[in-house]
Structure 1
Amino acid sequence: MSPAAKVKDNGIAATRSLDVLIVGAGFGGLYQLHYLRKMGYKCKVVDNAGELGGIWYWNCYPGARVDSDIPLYEYSIEDLYKDWTWSERFPSWPELRRYFTYVDKKLDLSKDVELNTGVKAADFDIKRSRWNIHLSSGEVVDAKYFVLCTGFAAKIHIPDFKGMDNYKGIMHHTAKYPQDGIDLKGKKVCVIGTGASGVQTIQEVGPEVGHLTVLQRTPNLCLPMNQHKIDPAVEQRLKKEGDYERIFKYRRETFSGFDFDFSEKNGDDDTAEQKREFYKKLWAGGGFRFWLNTYKDLLFDKKVNDTAYEFWAEKTRARINDPKKKDILAPVLDKQPHTFGTKRPSLEQRYYEVYNQNNVNIIALKENPIDTFTEKGIKMKEGQELEFDVIILATGFDSVTGGLVQIDIKGTDVVTLADKWSKGTWTYLGMATANFPNMFFLYGPHGPTAFANGPTLVELQGDWIIDAIDYCEKNGKKTIDATTQSEAGWTKHVAELTDITLFPGTDSWYMGANIPGKPREALNYAGGIPRLGLDGRMKVMFR
């Protein structure tokens, strides 16, 4: 026991006492640290990663890059953006790491961040109205407030494939890719999964490997990234003319936190010819515009959605030479895998062209599933035995709730968060849950998480959490806790908004459907950032 340790009434030895312990050194955690520290609160951040950056420490697989265009994917703090210029519209993971190094230097954050340190468990002491937080280092921290900034993709998911232990080659999940990379040149490589990390990996490694086999469960309805280099002189001029200030203000007012929003028109307001011209304009704009800058009823009206899908399929199929691959990657409307936009579309640069290479093959797992892993590769149900030097698992995450419930957190009734949410998620405003006082989370369940630009949302939610903590301290409140009534009301509101959309008709991680045994439910707030209306929503119980 450290000499500084103090044994509390419950017998737990706390080595340190803090106002706030923050979990996660990504955009959300560092934002909280910066502002709470400025306000005089004693705070620390812990993170399992070896460097700052949150997900951008773990995302180092081939081709990993962000899918929000700059300057949207950065802090809106003028002292930071005025002296930083990105090299391209959608930055890659090495550049994002350099950005966090820059942020650290400007804001002097590292002195209050403990890396390679996670939280194993936490329990709330009712008598003292404080959290006992057990770190992976063995230390127990005593903190009044517990803020979880773990992100929506903090727990990897690997399906229970038969015989995985048999395989003797190199195998990694994209979220656990070696920091120093893998030499793939000339190798026989398999990528399992075509979500965001799968798409980025496939288009990056296709040209360098000896042979690439892609195992696809569901086609990804990818959109063109329309990547380009950034001219520093132009960026500086935009900053001086106030464009950045306007963009950062506007992104807080749009549905998804971007500098564009849904059209005021419904799909039926336009003729077929007008629709096509509208879609062509969105397509040319790149990024998520075809998804989130489109007709306001596209995610509600299947008939309108079908017109977008048909446009997408036409554009995409034209880029694929092989007829069989066309049908696997971009099925026609009557064989569409799901309505457009009800699974997150990934952004790509040359994804479909990779499949025109002679060294790239794709197998549709719904037609020919994996039978078992073997010592040298994978045996398929139809009997083929495929040999690989490297297998890359792009199989996704137990998203949104997984990162939170994997920590053993006990509330006032000694029920763990995992048990409370085992049959359904309950939150208030997507930032608190009843009977877990003085605990907040952001970019998680029942917030606009999956539909929002990360930095925009974590600043908005972060401001609310900071204000809540400051209010309690200035008014002598011991605890702040969501009431069961407000929690029930918000959870019902989230479900009702989702139920009128097309989202429930698709099995996706938006609905928790990618994890066996996980409740199928609305995990994200479909009302958008403006409707979330965090101002004036301090409907909580103080005691």
Structure 2
Amino acid sequence: MNAPRDLPVTRLDAAVIGAGVAGLYQLHRLREMGLDVRAYETGSGVGGTWYWNRYPGARFDSQAEIYQYWFDEAMYKAWQPSERFPAQPETERWLNWVADRMDLKKDIQFDTRIDSAHFNETTQRWDITTRQGERIDAQYLVCCMGMLSAPLTDRFPGQSSFQGQILHTALWPQEGVDLKGKRVAVIGTGATGIQVIQTIKGEVGEMTVFVRTPQYVIPMRNPKYSAADWAGWGERFHELKQRVRSTFAGFDYDFDAPPWDSLTPAEREAVLERLWDDGSLSLWLSSFPEMFFDEAVSEVVSEFVRRKMRDRLKHDPALCELLIPTDYGFGTHRVPLENGYLEAYLQDNVHTVNCRKTPIERIVPEGIQTADGTVHPFDVIIMAVGFDAGSGALTRVDIRGRGGRSLKEEWQREIRTAMGMQIHGYPNLFSTASPLAPTAALCNMTTCLQAQVDWVTDCIAYARAQGKTVIEPTREFEDAWVAHHDETANKTLVVKTDSWYMGSNVEGKPRRLLSYIGGVGNYHRQCDEQAAQGYPGFAMR
């Protein structure tokens, strides 16, 4: 929609895009500074990921005691999660509770999609337009749009011809969907597909899972939390707040095991068993860092997980071949937690299609046609096919910086940022959950999003105190950060694996590890050093 030229222009100190975990906190911090700020949210309510992803079985896999805001101890203690890994409805309620407690909604404009943001070199401000035609003039633009918020919806030829219902997990209807007794296809077996499959397996009539890339999985241990349990976590508020900021992935656990080479095979097995039984991501993120660098170590850890999976699949040869990875190592993909996922495939009403042998060719009116010519009939097709991760949320907005340069066009050639928070050539544009920072994939999101919001806020406050109105990373600093990012990434096995971590799931996307893999504690140290030294990597004028 073209913006009517006679509409009034909203003038702000700062515009925030998104009202999820980061957007809510960013709105609070900038408002606390006394800035005239408004947040713009495409959805009708707060929550970001937890507003949109309401598919069956959606829940997070960071423990409730660390998936938290850390700026208000009383608020932490006042909300009591029901279990270790709460489901989507509870998380959405929590974020609404936070927004209401902080009185944030009055400064959030819902049902508003930002279409474009152009930097005006004359005014040194951002000209922003919404899909509804509103125009916004803001000094600072802060994009808190999430790392998994650009769903890949149009994946197969013929989708519009399907006579049944096609559902994308990230765009699930708020009113829900009745799947009872229906013939349901699930395309995709990543973390989201796994949650859907294990949840609807007893509800559907028949379910066919289209499997391309098998996943290593860990059974989730999800105890209920009592008031006494939560009081105990509340007593550890300050300890946890400091702990999560310093660990490798922003969780309360870290790589604390002795070095791999110092242990006997039996001692290594004991460590793996202990962490497996914890039922969290600790096996991935607090066992042996050597598995990310050493192929021999990776194979031992991977085989440990394969053995656990084979046992649950009753050593069925066909299912083991289809569902257990052998061509990449444990932890080089996102590791999902699950509850009864593998057992779903042992049910008589659950069928599989091996998309490595017979890929999906197209969607037809009756269902899904595979490369062997078979048409699989369905009533409902559930697409758990992922996202244009990290970069997609930003490139779906027409963002143009100095000289009219297009962020979409530049990132089609090479994805670059300065610490994942600014981009050379785009003054006063800040972002969270963007490429080349831990928030792009490898962090407990509340930990890293809050740290980025704090850095952005402090950077703006510093510039204002210095009488500066424009902030932009230097080309030299961005070059240095990209080089450091790549050097760190290229030491690991992660870059040798095709996954959304590398952008491999989007055709034509430049190949680069989206997330900084040098560790959350190390990342925060470097961010703190920039701030303490007066932001030498960022030109201010």
Contact kept in structure 2, 1:482 and 1:540, CA below 8 Å: yes
Look up the SS of the partner of 2:11 in the other structure. strand
Specify the code of the residue in structure 1 equivalent to 2:446: P
Q: 1:415 is matched with which residue?
A: 405
What pairs with 1:83-482 in structure 2 (closer than 5 Å)? 83-158=78-153, 160-239=155-234, 242-263=235-256, 265-321=258-314, 322-331=316-325, 336-449=326-439, 450-482=441-473
Equivalent AA in structure 2 for residue 301 of structure 1: D
- Counterpart secondary structure, 2:510: coil
1:496 maps to 2:463: no
After superposition, give the CA deviation of every residue in 1:229-260 in whole Å (9 maximum; x if it has no partner). 11122212442xx2122112210111111000
Distance 1:156 1:238 in 2: 35
Distance (whole Å) between structure 2 residues aligned to residue 137 and residue 269 of structure 1: 62
Is the Cα contact below 8 Å between 1:268 and 1:304 reproduced in 2? Answer: no
CA distance in 2, matches of 1:160, 1:276: 42
- Distance (Å, rounded) in 2 between the aligned partners of 1:270 and 1:188: 51
CA deviation string 1:90-139 (max 9, x = no partner): 11110011101210221000000011102100111112211111112211
Structure 2 counterpart SS, 1:339: coil
2:57 aligns with 63
1:128-154 Cα deviation digits (max 9, x unpaired): 211111112211111110000001112
1:265 to partner: Cα distance: 3.1
Partner of 2:478: 487
Quote the Cα distance in structure 2 between the aligned partners of 1:20 and 1:417.
20
Aligned AA (1:350): G
Q: Secondary structure at the match of 1:276?
A: helix
Contact 1:213 1:361 in 2 (8 A): yes
1:264 Cα offset (Å): 5.2
What is the SS of the residue equivalent to 2:38? strand
Shifted more, 203-212 versus 361-370: the winner is 361-370
Counterpart of 2:141 in structure 1: which amino acid? Answer: F
Distance 1:125 1:371 in 2: 46
8 Å contact from structure 1 (residues 63, 204) kept in 2:
yes
Tell me by how many angstroms 1:13 deviates: 6.8
CA distance in 1: counterparts of 2:257 and 2:516, whole angstroms:
20
Hey, what's the Cα distance between the residues in 2 that align with 1:33 and 1:278? 43
Give the SS at the match of 1:422. helix
Compared CA separation, residues 458 and 386, structure 1 to 2 (3 A): same
Structure-1-length-normalised TM-score: 0.95
Matched residue SS, 1:477: coil
Task: Report the Cα distance in structure 1 between the residues aligned to 2:6 and 2:401, rounded to whole angstroms.
Answer: 16
Contact 1:298 1:304 in 2 (8 A): yes
Q: Which of 28, 33, 55 is the aligned partner of 1:39?
A: 33
Distance 1:40 1:165 in 2: 49
Give the number of equivalent residue pairs.
529
1:541 aligns with 2:539: yes
For residue 12 of structure 1, report the CA deviation from its aligned partner: 9.6
Please report the RMSD computed on the Cα atoms of aligned residues, expressed in angstroms: 1.6
Q: How far is the alpha carbon of 1:157 from its aligned partner?
A: 1.2
Alpha-carbon distance in structure 2 between the residues aligned to 1:378 and 1:114:
40
SS at match of 1:451: coil
Distance 1:342 1:30 in 2: 31
The one-letter code matched in structure 2 to 1:174 is T
Deviation at 1:268, TM superposition (A): 2.3
Following superposition, the deviation at residue 290 of structure 1 comes to: 0.8
8 A contact 1:19–1:42 mirrored in 2: yes
SS in 1 for 2:291: coil
How far apart in 2 are the matches of 1:207 and 1:232?
32
Q: 1:527 corresponds to which residue?
A: 518
Structure 2 distance, partners of 1:425, 1:491, is 9
Compare 494-503 and 149-158 and name the one that shifted more.
149-158
* Distance in 2 of aligned mates of 1:155 and 1:101: 22
Q: The residue matched to 1:536 in structure 2 has which SS?
A: helix
Task: Report the 3-state secondary structure (helix = DSSP H, G, I; strand = E; otherwise coil) of the residue aligned with 2:75.
Answer: helix
Tell me how far apart the structure 2 counterparts of residues 346 and 134 of structure 1 sit (CA, whole Å).
38
Give SS of 2:529's match. Answer: coil
Cα deviation digits, residues 398-442 of structure 1 (max 9, x gap)? 000000111001101211111121111111111000111111001
Unaligned runs of 5+ in 1: none
Query: Is the Cα contact below 8 Å between 1:263 and 1:296 reproduced in 2?
Result: no
SS at match of 1:82: helix
Q: Cα distance, 1:36 vs. partner?
A: 1.3
Query: More displaced, 152-161 or 438-447?
Result: 152-161
Q: In 2, Cα distance between the equivalents of 1:237 and 1:318?
A: 36
2:65–2:233 Cα contact (<8 Å) kept: no
What is the rounded CA distance, in whole Å, between the counterparts of 1:206 and 1:35 in structure 2?
44
CA distance in 1, matches of 2:186, 2:261: 40
TM-fit CA distance, 1:494: 0.7
SS at match of 2:166: strand
Moved more, 369-378 or 412-421: 369-378
Give secondary structure in 1 for the equivalent of 2:404. Answer: coil
The separation in 2 between residues aligned to 1:264 and 1:369, in whole angstroms, is 42
CA distance in 2: counterparts of 1:105 and 1:47, whole angstroms = 16
Q: Indicate if the aligned counterparts of 2:257 and 2:286 stay in contact, CA closer than 8 A.
A: no
Distance in 2 of aligned mates of 1:257 and 1:536: 19
Counterparts of 1:46 and 1:416, CA distance in 2: 22
Q: 1:13 to 1:541 in 2, by over 3 A?
A: farther
In 2, Cα distance between equivalents of 1:160 and 1:228: 38
Cα distance in 1 between the residues matched to 2:264 and 2:319: 32
Describe the SS at the equivalent of 1:161. coil
CA distance in structure 2 between the partners assigned to 1:162 and 1:100 by the alignment: 38
Aligned AA (2:414): G
> C-alpha displacement at 1:490, in angstroms?
0.5
In 2, the alpha carbon distance for the partners of 1:520 and 1:501 equals 15
Distance 1:358 1:142 in 2: 59
Contact kept in structure 2, 1:227 and 1:349, CA below 8 Å: no
User: Whole-Å Cα distance in 1 between the matches of residues 431 and 464 of structure 2?
Assistant: 19
**What letter matches 2:539 in structure 1?**
M
Unaligned residue ranges in structure 2 (runs of 5+): none
